[in-house]
Structure 1
Amino acid sequence: MTRHTTDYLRQRSSNLSLRNEAATNALSTSRLSSFANPSEFENESTISDAVKAFIVGDLARSGSVSLCDSCFRDIPKEKRTGTNIIIESDTQQCSVCNVLASKPEAFTEPFCKFLQENPTVFHSVGYFKEKLNALDYKELPARDDWSGKLKAGGKYYVTRNGTSLIGFTVGKAYKPGNGVAIIAGHIDALTAKLKPVSNKPTKAGYIQLGVAPYAGGLNETWWDRDLSIGGRVIVRDESGKTSSRLVQLDWPIARIPTLAPHFGVGMLGQQNKETEAVPIIGLDNSDISSSNAKPVEPLGPAGSFVATQPPRLVQLISQKLGIKDHTQIVNWELELFDLQPATVGGLDKEFIFAGRIDDKLCSWAAFQGLLASDANDDDGVIKLVALFDDEEIGSLLRQGARGNFLPSVIERAVESLCGEDKAFGPGILGQTYAQSFLVSADVTHAVNPNFLSRYLDGHAPRLNVGITIAADSNGHMTTDSVSTAILTRVAELSDCTPQVFQIRNDSRSGGTVGPMLSSAMGIKAADAGMAQLSMHSIRATCGSLDPGLGVKFFKGFLDKWEKVDAEWQ
């Protein structure tokens, strides 16, 4: 194994450098040679398998990447800029080949980086949009007319509210009325959001922050944690134009301090979340010491948004965004998040310890599966992944799964694809939904060794094994015998190991987006997701192979669904 920089490798007067030069100039060797006319590569925005895998695996963001000679030649110089390349003679050591082969271990590090770098739902959607754009997916603005803009073989995405996203590809052999292979999940997570007026009176020298729990945020797992702040900021510039900008602070700014047991009042999880779980974000002892600076005055006139927020926080956010006039901030949606990085752990590094695993795990894996999915000439279906906000609070808002986002996108896409050759209407839509299938992807409960009696025999999912098909007799899950058989067959064809889970009769089942979506559109559906420990804690645990096992299964579903559906009478 030899380490070289990319520039050094290109400058070598060896056969390798000559091959690299030929590949760069002609773009006609290796996997690109499969195109009928390689010279049309750039005009058609066709992306080689190696480039796709390079992007899917976030390899450009790695400090050092191992590539086989074939993949090195396939990936243009501009894609590799700033990446230290290690040339390997063994394709088993090639990072790109491992992504192409859906090897689970290839996705552990990218998933951990995703969790660390995208702490809020806004950042997550921004991350997915960046990858979609890099793979030449076209954005379809909801306000635009989509007529004539969609075609078989196309790749598209749509967003709503900056917090929900749908990406899809149209099969090259698609005909109006064909089905849609759908994976739907959620990217929101338990958190604590800043209140509309987050400024609070200083108490005993502490500057505190007004926050409200989102879903189960501010529970006891949030106490004594290193918390930072991030989200989106609404900014109006000097010309009067308004835009949304992402922000996150990179150090712990807030903490919810616990009370020592010596006081006789135990912190047992029953504390009042309005008065006894308030974060501290700074000190201000100006009331007892003249040497201390005077409190910062509000940074805007009475009635302005910034006048209702802690002045020093406004200053920090403004500095982060490069804003000099604080009153340009007209509003924001900021939240607390656990700053501790996602990390691998265990004797053999078989675990991932991280925040926001529920449900960044299934949503990230599903989207990676879409990006890595095949694009064969005989693909006749639409492959679609929908990631929703607000699942943790009932999906009742317009960006939630109970809204019209998913059916609206499917209906508008089918209408556009009908063109002038086929009349669009209820008949085509009914046919489309009847030939479709939904995987409701959400994390489920991994077996906890300290509470084995809480699990049913044969319903105890393990980490690093594979997807779990979840059922519930009271309709909290959308799984039935037909959909279970379908996903089991998908797993078989994709070399995946399925598990099953159902909660005990004396416990309460959680819910997913599956029942609301399948009932609204009338499509066959099943609930299936990866298992995790410590659900609804600020820090959770999954297997280090589980992100990659999820990618493998979800990609398998998107690629195999049409074949499996054809097996049914």
Structure 2
Amino acid sequence: MSSNASAADAHIQDLGAYVAASPSSFHAVHEAARRLDAAGFTRLDELEPWAGGAGKFYIVRDGALVAWLTPEGAGPTTGFNILGAHTDSPSFKLKPKPTTAKFGWLQAGVDVYGGPLLNSWLDRELQLAGRLVLLDGTEHLTATGPLLRFPQLAIHLDRGVNDNGLLLSKQQHMNPIFGQAGDEGADGADLLAVLADRVQGATVDPARIAGYDVVVADTQAPAVFGANSEFFASGRLDNLSSTHAGLVALIAHAATEPTSGPIAVLAAFDHEELGSNSRSGACGPILEDILTRVSDGLGASVSERRRALAASFCVSADAGHAVHPNYPERHDPVNRPVLNGGPLLKINANQRYATDAPGAAVWAKLCEAAGVPYQEFVSNNDLPCGSTIGPLTATRLGIRTVDVGVPLLSMHSARELCGVRDPRFLTDVLEVFFRAGA
């Protein structure tokens, strides 16, 4: 079960393939569903009745996915072992009336989505990706490939930028270019027409597009680098590194055809970067809906379902911070995680992370069983701490939860950095978690 170099290398290449296939939350769910289908999972429709009982299943709700494996021996009070992650990342989202033309340039109107590091998106070849919804209600995935660029102002026109810092207005400066305008304006190059043209496997009339959820994504391929090939650079590691780890671990667990143990659940939510307040986010009812229906299928009464939740455990996996060599003062002086040192156990006295002492003990036991090192993370007291889906899940369902994740540098950049070994470490622990319980 230990993460040797070859297993880590194979895993990091697969993570890169997953990220490349997942420029939006909708694509991330589509790729996860494709892999689950190949592993013999059955997709269920929330509008239809479910037979219940043992088996491998999943549902998709917008940009979220919940997959689970119910073993043959599961009963009304069997607990759930849940891996919680999220499919969205900080970026930019396409506005209504997105095509503008001025000074000979075609530009896209975008909203800031979450908290991206704005400067990291400058001077990159970017794409638009997401879903289009037609007047008849049908949905289509689209991804343009290289199309956009946020061009930075030349230093000749901003002589003080290196000394005074780069100041970017979200409204004025974050309008990417995607073409040249003709003498009479957009010259037919409408963004919705471009998006309709890039739908795979279907012909879409842009005049029939009634709604869209489309974000900006980097097009540069993920890459391994470093003196000993120890680093991995990619977009959307926050938090596809966790979604991918949970997906790989659940599929590996399913391949063992377990007949006993907990009900293993992967809950990949959307909209975490916005606070999770949506029908597909962790503040919404999606996970509770699924757990309730699974319990119903096992014949559970209300009291038995409560017993099952009391016997459950959630690992909330989201990326965390490695110590930055150029900014050590921004980190706790004692707890300083490094890349390739193992996944983080994230702790906060104010419960911005859900980890408590019993949960930390469970995590330590899981890591020991998997032969995986782990590192503790706490924030510097002078800096505010972020949060995750962990406290939301613990509060909504009353399930004991720990917060963990892969350590990163450049979090919320268009291109983040992790260690090659850490994503495999996390997956190894999750395989033990799904199999043996907490």
TM (norm. structure 1) is 0.72
Residues 498-526 of structure 1: per-residue CA shift (max 9 Å, x gap): 11110111111110000011111111111
Pick one of 131, 138, 154 that aligns with 1:260: 154
Summarize the Cα distance change of 1:206–1:376 in structure 2 as closer, same or farther, 3 Å threshold: closer
Pick one of 394, 401, 419 that aligns with 1:518: 394
Counterpart check, 1:111 vs 2:11: no
Q: By how many angstroms is 1:159 displaced?
A: 1.5
Q: Distance in 2 between matches of 1:353 and 1:257?
A: 22
Instruction: Give runs of aligned pairs for residues 374-453 of structure 1, distance below 5 A.
Output: 375=256, 377-418=258-299, 424-453=300-329
Counterpart check, 1:216 vs 2:115: yes
SS in 2 for 1:449: coil
Pick one of 200, 203, 208 that aligns with 2:102: 203
Q: By how many angstroms is 1:266 displaced?
A: 5.2
Aligned to 2:61: 160
SS in 1 for 2:194: helix
Higher relative contact order (CA 8 A, sep 6+): 2
Aligned to 2:39: 135
Pick one of 233, 243, 250 that aligns with 1:353: 233
Counterpart contact for 2:262–2:435, Cα < 8 Å: no
Counterpart check, 1:274 vs 2:165: no
Aligned to 1:319: 197
Aligned to 1:338: 218
Q: Distance in 1 between matches of 2:205 and 2:330?
A: 56
Summarize the Cα distance change of 1:416–1:408 in structure 2 as closer, same or farther, 3 Å threshold: same
Counterpart check, 1:540 vs 2:423: no
Q: By how many angstroms is 1:426 displaced?
A: 2.3
Q: Distance in 2 between matches of 1:513 and 1:316?
A: 35
Letter matched to residue 281 of structure 1 = F
Pick one of 46, 52, 57 that aligns with 1:150: 52
Letter matched to residue 511 of structure 1 = S
Q: By how many angstroms is 1:172 displaced?
A: 2.1
Aligned to 1:493: 369
Q: Distance in 2 between matches of 1:219 and 1:337?
A: 13
Letter matched to residue 212 of structure 2 = W
Q: By how many angstroms is 1:224 displaced?
A: 1.4
Residues 232-258 of structure 1: per-residue CA shift (max 9 Å, x gap): 11235xxxx4311111112x2111111
Counterpart contact for 1:476–1:510, Cα < 8 Å: yes
Letter matched to residue 285 of structure 2 = N
Higher strand share: 2
Counterpart contact for 1:102–1:548, Cα < 8 Å: no
Q: By how many angstroms is 1:106 displaced?
A: 2.2
Q: Distance in 1 between matches of 2:10 and 2:302?
A: 44
Percent same amino acid at aligned positions? 30
Q: By how many angstroms is 1:366 displaced?
A: 1.2
Counterpart contact for 1:342–1:354, Cα < 8 Å: yes
Letter matched to residue 186 of structure 1 = H
Q: Distance in 1 between matches of 2:159 and 2:287?
A: 49
Counterpart contact for 1:191–1:336, Cα < 8 Å: yes
Answer with 545-554 or 454-463: which moved more: 454-463
Letter matched to residue 338 of structure 1 = D
Q: By how many angstroms is 1:141 displaced?
A: 0.9
Summarize the Cα distance change of 1:227–1:377 in structure 2 as closer, same or farther, 3 Å threshold: closer
Summarize the Cα distance change of 1:390–1:326 in structure 2 as closer, same or farther, 3 Å threshold: closer
SS in 2 for 1:103: helix
Pick one of 354, 360, 364 that aligns with 2:244: 364
Counterpart check, 1:245 vs 2:126: no
Aligned to 1:296: 187
Q: Distance in 2 between matches of 1:99 and 1:501?
A: 21
Give the greater-gyration-radius structure (CA).
Answer: 1
Answer with 481-490 or 273-282: which moved more: 273-282
Letter matched to residue 329 of structure 2 = S
Q: By how many angstroms is 1:160 displaced?
A: 1.1
Q: By how many angstroms is 1:264 displaced?
A: 4.0
Summarize the Cα distance change of 1:378–1:138 in structure 2 as closer, same or farther, 3 Å threshold: closer
Q: Distance in 2 between matches of 1:249 and 1:516?
A: 35
**How many residues are paired up?**
432
SS in 1 for 2:49: coil
Q: By how many angstroms is 1:557 displaced?
A: 1.3
Instruction: Give runs of aligned pairs for residues 184-203 of structure 1, distance below 5 A.
Output: 184-200=84-100, 202-203=101-102
Residues 69-120 of structure 1: per-residue CA shift (max 9 Å, x gap): xxxxxxxxxxxxxxxxxxxxxxxxxxxx999999323211111111122211
Q: Distance in 2 between matches of 1:325 and 1:538?
A: 31
Q: By how many angstroms is 1:175 displaced?
A: 1.4
Pick one of 126, 130, 133 that aligns with 1:231: 130
Letter matched to residue 402 of structure 2 = A
TM (norm. structure 2) is 0.93
Letter matched to residue 80 of structure 2 = V
Summarize the Cα distance change of 1:265–1:150 in structure 2 as closer, same or farther, 3 Å threshold: farther
RMSD of aligned C-alpha atoms? 2.2
Residues 307-344 of structure 1: per-residue CA shift (max 9 Å, x gap): xxxx4333333332353643233332222111111111
SS in 2 for 1:509: coil
